[in-house]
Each structure stands twice: as structure tokens, then as C-alpha cells.
Amino acid sequence: MTATDPALTALSQGWCALSLLHGRIDAHIEKALQSRHGLSVREYSLLDVLSRQHSGPGGHLRMQQVADAVVLSQSATTRLVTRLEDRGLLTRYLCDTDRRGIYTDVTEAGQALLTEARPTNDTALRQALDEAAKNPELAPLVRAVEELRVPA
């Protein structure tokens, strides 16, 4: 393939459209979460991921797993966890079976804020997708997002 190959150009255009859709959704949700709950999209995502942990085998995530889930580097995730811990929304503790492992849990205050913010996130996501669907370049991507079924 060459740089002017139509398949490569189409691939690049598709990536640009996907990036544009992500940016619009992210910005819309960020504005809603910040104005109503004082949360960034990353903070909300972290609280959401950590709230889904459970006490059974494999139920708690290590920091690298959390970083992968919120799509941040491990150091950026650690800084984010620290900020939310300072706000009383998260707590950290050592793993019982491996003292090198550090786990993070959502506090009651963090769970309350997440519960309060979840409808805002969901509404803002729906609004952003509806707006993006009006753009012919983004409409197929919106349909693809709407058809995704991620296993629980």
C-alpha cells in the first residue's frame, strides 16, 4: 500500500471520524459531570470501574488492571486515585494474600456521588450520541456504538 492508496485513505478517514465522535462525547459528558457533580469523566470512570468490584475470587482489581480499564497509564491512575482518596471517595488497602498488592475501594461517599452522577452521565451520553447521529459521517459509528453488547 502507498500513502495515496484508497483503502489506506478510507481507514484514516474512519479513524478520524471515530476520534471526532469520541472527542464530542467526552467533552459533552465532561461538561455535564463537572457542572453538576464536580467530577471529570476520568474520575467518574474510575469510580464506576471500582464500584463493580466484588469480594469473591478475582473480584478486586490491581492498579494495573484499573489503569487498563480507565485507559490511563499506571502513574496517571495512581495520581487520579490519590486525588479521589483525598476527597474521601476512595480508600486503599494492602492485599491480605500478597502484601505487595494494593487494592482500592469506593467509599460510601464515593458510592453516593457515583449513584447521583450516573443518570447525568447516561443522559449526557445519550444527548451526545443523538447530536452526533445528525452528522452523516458519524451516524454509522453512532449506530455501531448503540448496537454493542458488552458482556457483564
**Residue closest to 25 by CA, chosen among 46, 44, 6:** 44
Q: Which helix (H) or strand (E) holds 102?
A: strand 102-106
The answer to whether residues 128 and 33 touch, using CB atoms and an 8 Å cutoff, is: no
In the numeric block, the cell 496517571 is attached to 76
CATH code (residue 119): 1.10.10.10
Three-state DSSP class for residue 57: coil
Domain contains 99 = yes
14 domain-assigned: yes
Q: What number of residues does the chain have? A: 152
For residue 101, pLDDT beyond 90: no
- How many CA atoms does the CB half-sphere of 15 hold within 13 Å? 6
Residue 93: give the domain boundaries.
Answer: 7-142
pLDDT in tens, 40-56: 999 999 999 999 987 77
Q: What is the pLDDT of residues 121-140, one digit of tens each?
A: 999 999 999 999 999 999 99
Mean pLDDT of 93-106: 78
Average pLDDT of span 77-88: 95
